[in-house]
Structure 1
Amino acid sequence: MNTFDLFQLRGQVALVTGGGRGLGFQISEALSDAGCAIALCSRKLETCEDAAQVLKSKGVDTKAYQCDLGNEEDINRVVNDVIEDFGKIDILVNNSGTTWGANVESMPLEAWEKVMRVNVTGTFLMSQAVGRLMIELASGKIINIASAAGLKAEPPEVLNAIGYSTSKAAVAHFTRDLARKWAHHGVYVNAIAPGIFPTKMTKAVLDRTGDAIVEKNPLNRIGDEDAIKGTALLLATEASDFMTGQVLSVDGGSTL
């Protein structure tokens, strides 16, 4: 086999949560470049519809869906709709996430619960719903988006969002544990732990401490729009068929 054939996704279907913008859209672009059909979902349907139009202009088979990742009924409905529209789901990218910046001593309980509901419970529920289908087929790739924030504790002046960092640490362990549970079903589960990328979620942090973050980074930069694409493609394709339960940092060395 030609090595480049290991990175092809022709005839496959990926469901990408939070795929309408930021890292989710960048991952969607990478998978579609390899021939994959893309189902995009997020809480805001319009965002995904706009992203789907961009992909369609490139000839990608794609469709947008509205989904509240903290709502089990919503998740099950979307998974059923994707199956009806595309026939299968070969790849799941759990990218949707939220955050809440606050001092620990004043963070409201409802803020903590919202972050956990979307970032952790949503990842569990979507993995469960899609995983049932993958187990039936004895095949599938799940890619969870963790974070460098879940691998390394930061001072409050750099990142003051304990709910977010704790949730992403949970996603990293969920990845390892689920990989162990489903390996014998032929379902691969890996994660990407991005460092700082310019997204809507990180804008406030970058506006406040962006120069200091760049200065401290071993590669002296933050992620750009192409930085995560290769890692996502690796984990979605046959090229990673001897990898499961791994959390790959894409952070310029910030967690070293």
Structure 2
Amino acid sequence: MTAIAAAAALAAGAVATDDALAQARITGTITANHGDSLTVRGSAGDTPVSLTPATEIRGTSGVLGVRGEEHPASDLIPGLIVDIDIVPGAPVLTAEKVTFKNSDLRTAEQISAGLVGTEGRVAENTARIDNFGTLTSAGRTSVYFNVGSAALSDEGRRSLDDIAAQAKALNTPFRLAVVGRADPTGNAEANRRLSERRAQAVTDYLMHNAGVTPEKFIPTASLGEAPIANDPDPPRTDAEARRVTVTIGVTPR
């Protein structure tokens, strides 16, 4: 079972269309830097992107992000949120330009510092739960949004703090499945993009504010308004549909 399918199974979600190859820009979180390539996790799952000596790498500052400075490829660390412009017509996905916020780099460095000395344990835990098909739910919460908005409310932040604390308190490895949704009003494609932004907002908060490290996430599913077969928790109103569900997945004992 694929990672995205696992998210669907855990949170009554569906697989988002993998259209990363057709995009001129990829936005997501770096999960691995292999030196000459990155693995970037976005709404379409994990995407490998090649780096070359010509790849421009810039960190931006300021409200508008107009101030920029060059960075080495070594600064492209796991946990960093990036925008990647793809080289047109390249035979494989190749980064022409990688940009990120300098504030996000500082956050990713703090996350990385917290992982020092734990790489072996992280690898062991990841290996134990890499078979996504065996994960079962150990807890779930839903975060609700205003019409047309992907901004987290204070109540939503508290819910995410609670689910993160619940997951980290478990005496077993876990993964989090994040599934974004939207109500059925308006354009279907716009709703899918809105559900993607909501899922990303939740994932960003869990990583940067609630202390959940990047390898704990199954790639998100962004459903928009799409109905789900055999949904155990179908939205009964438009307000209930404007949500992101976070499910804790663990291996059954």
Say whether the fold is shared (TM-score over 0.5). no
Question: TM-score, length-normalised on structure 2?
Answer: 0.30
Q: Relative contact order (alpha carbons < 8 A, sep ≥ 6): 1 or 2 greater?
A: 2
Question: TM-score, length-normalised on structure 1?
Answer: 0.29
User: As a proportion of its length, which structure holds more strand?
Assistant: 2
